[in-house]
Chain A
Amino acid sequence: MTEQSASNSLDGNAAAGPFTDVFGFDVSTVLVTCGGCRASAVFAEQRAFLGGPGTVLRCPGCDHLLARVVQTTDELWLDMSGSSCWRFPLEASTA
C-alpha cells in the first residue's frame, strides 16, 4: 500500500472504528484541539490516514499529528501527545 497524500486522505469518520477499540464508544463527535496550531474540530472532520501502521489522525489545518492507534498482537497502543484537549459532549443533540 502506498502512503496517502493529503489530497487523498480520508476524514475522521473513517477512523472512528479503530478508535472505538480504545474508548469503547464512537468518538466521531468529540471536539479535538490540535496541540500544534490550537484549532479545534470534531473528530469526524479531522484528517485520517488508514492502512498502517495503525490509524492516524492529523489536523486538517496544519497537518500536525493529533493521535494514533496501533494494534499489535498483544497490545493496543494509543498516542495522543499531539492533541491538547478532547472534549466529550454528554448532552443529547438538539440540532
Chain B
Amino acid sequence: MTETPLRDRGKVGGPRPRWLPARLAGLRSETGTARTMTFDVPEWPGHQAGQHVDLRLTAADGYSTERSYSIAAPAEDARVSITVQEVGTGEVSPYLVENMELGDALEMRGPIGGWFVWSPSPEAPVEQPILLVAGGSGVVPLMAMVRERARSGSRAPFRLVYSVRDPGQVLFAPELAQHAQDEGVQVDLVYSRETPKDFARPAGRITARDLATPPDAGWPDDPPPRAYVCGPTAFVEHAIRTLLDLGYTNHNIRAERFGPSGG
C-alpha cells in the first residue's frame, strides 16, 4: 500500500464530537422501505458533504444502542437530515423507518469522518472531476455531495453511477432527474436484478463500461478524476477493482463500506 501524501489528508482536531440532543422535525418517504428524517440539533457545529453521524437510542430500562448513518444533505441551520433504509432484521432501522414520530428525541454524535468528504475548490483553475459510485443506500453520502455542489454553485464535473436492485429501490429519483439537468452533472442508473421496461442496459452488476468516463463527458485530462465509492462491502470491493483496472489509483479512490448487518 502506498503512502498518502500529508497534504491529501484532512487535518485532525476541530470540535470534539459530543452526544447532542436531537429532535425529529421532518419526515419524507423515499421508497416503501426508506425515509428521510430531519432532526433539529440546536448545538450542531456544521458538517461537510460525505460525513456521518452516530445515533444513540436509549430504552426506558437504560439499554442503549448506537448506529452510524450518513448525512444526506448540506448543513442547513441546525438541521441534520439522514436517509434510512430499513434492514428487516435490524434492531434500530425498523424503529427509525416505521415507528419514530415527529417530536421524538434521540442523541446524535457528529459530524464524524474527515476522509470520505467532498468540498468545492473555487480557487482551483480547473476543478477536479468527481465520479460517484453508489450501491443501494450507499447513495446517501454521495447525494449530500451532489446537493453540496448545487448549493455552493460549484462547477466541478460530477458523474453519479447509481446501482440499485430494481426500479422500486431508487432513492431521491425526482431530485436526481432534476440535478441531471444541471450543467456538468451526469446521472446514470444501473439495475442489478430488474430494469424498467425498455431500459437499454440489461440488468447486471456494475462493469468497467459503466464506470469508464464517457468520451462526451468533456472532463479535463488534468487533474485526474477522483472517485467516491459507497455501498455494501462486496459492492465497494468490486467497484474499486474495476476502477483500478480503468487506471484509477489508490490515491484517487475514496471508499465507505457498510455491512449487510447494518440495521
A42 and B258 form a contact (CB under 8 A): no
Q: Which residues of A contact B111 (CB under 8 A)?
A: 26
* Interfacial residues of chain B within 70-123, with CB under 8 A of chain A in the complex: 109-116
Q: Which residues of A contact B255 (CB under 8 A)?
A: 11, 45
A91, B7: Cα distance in complex, Å: 7
A30, B115: Cα distance in complex, Å: 9
Instruction: State the Cβ distance, A59 to closest chain B Cβ, in Å.
Output: 9
Instruction: Identify the A interface with B (CB < 8 A).
Output: 1-2, 4, 7-14, 16-17, 20, 24-31, 39-45, 51, 61, 88-95
Question: From A6, which residue of chain B is reached at the shortest CB distance?
Answer: B233
Q: Identify A4's interface contact among B7, B54, B259, CB under 8 A.
A: B259
If A7-B234, A42-B4 touch, whether A13 touches B115 (CB-CB below 8 Å) is yes
Question: Could you say which of B10-18, B155-163, B171-179 contacts chain A?
Answer: B10-18
State whether the Cβ of B6 lies closer than 8 Å to any Cβ in chain A: yes
State whether the Cβ of B43 lies closer than 8 Å to any Cβ in chain A: no
B10 and A9 form a contact (CB under 8 A): no
Q: Which residues of B contact A27 (CB under 8 A)?
A: 12
Beyond A9-B257, A31-B9, 12 extra complex contacts between A and B, CB < 8 Å: A8-B260, A9-B259, A13-B115, A20-B16, A25-B12, A26-B17, A29-B10, A39-B1, A41-B4, A51-B261, A89-B10, A93-B7
A46, B9: Cα distance in complex, Å: 15
B3 and A31 form a contact (CB under 8 A): yes
A29 and B66 form a contact (CB under 8 A): no
Q: Which residues of B contact A17 (CB under 8 A)?
A: 17, 54, 66, 68, 109-110, 112
Map CB proximity to A onto B185-221 as digits: 1 under 8 Å, 0 otherwise.
Answer: 0000000000000000000000000000000000000
